[in-house]
Amino acid sequence: MRWLGGQGVPTDEQLVVMHSADVEDVASPLDYDAPYALEVCDIASEVAMSHGGEIETLSVGLDSFSFAFTDGHELEARVVVSRNHRFGLRVYWEQW
């Protein structure tokens, strides 16, 4: 996983990484056991639920990262492998 950060409008370098041809759309349900595997993943709507929230912590793992919010929600992002053996990103809004 490559981490890029910044403020404002994404740079050209960041856009190239975000729209990499090496990454596959994994919005459809997955055919193996993984968190939320049987659900459709709409990244835009999941992220939209976090807008305006106050982030308490950021956690980074080998194939995932998450933002924990002060209201008990978490925006979880996980790199998964597609049916075509390519990487993709799935994101979910959760409450603990």
Residue pLDDT, tens place only, 27-65: 999 999 988 999 999 999 999 999 999 999 999 999 999
- Any idea which of 14-28, 40-54, 74-88 has the lowest mean pLDDT? 14-28
Q: Rounded distance, CA 96 to CA 94, Å?
A: 7
pTM for this entry: 0.81
- Provide the token pair at 39: 């659900």
CB count within 10 Å of CB 34 equals: 12
Mean confidence (pLDDT) of the chain: 91
Spans of all domains in the chain: 23-95
Name 4's Cβ contacts closer than 8 Å, sequence gap at least 6: 13, 14, 17
CA-closest candidate to residue 43, choices 93, 96, 95, 94: 93
Above pLDDT 70, what percent of the chain?
96
Gyration radius of the chain over CA positions: 14
Confidence of residue 75 (pLDDT cuts 50, 70, 90): very high
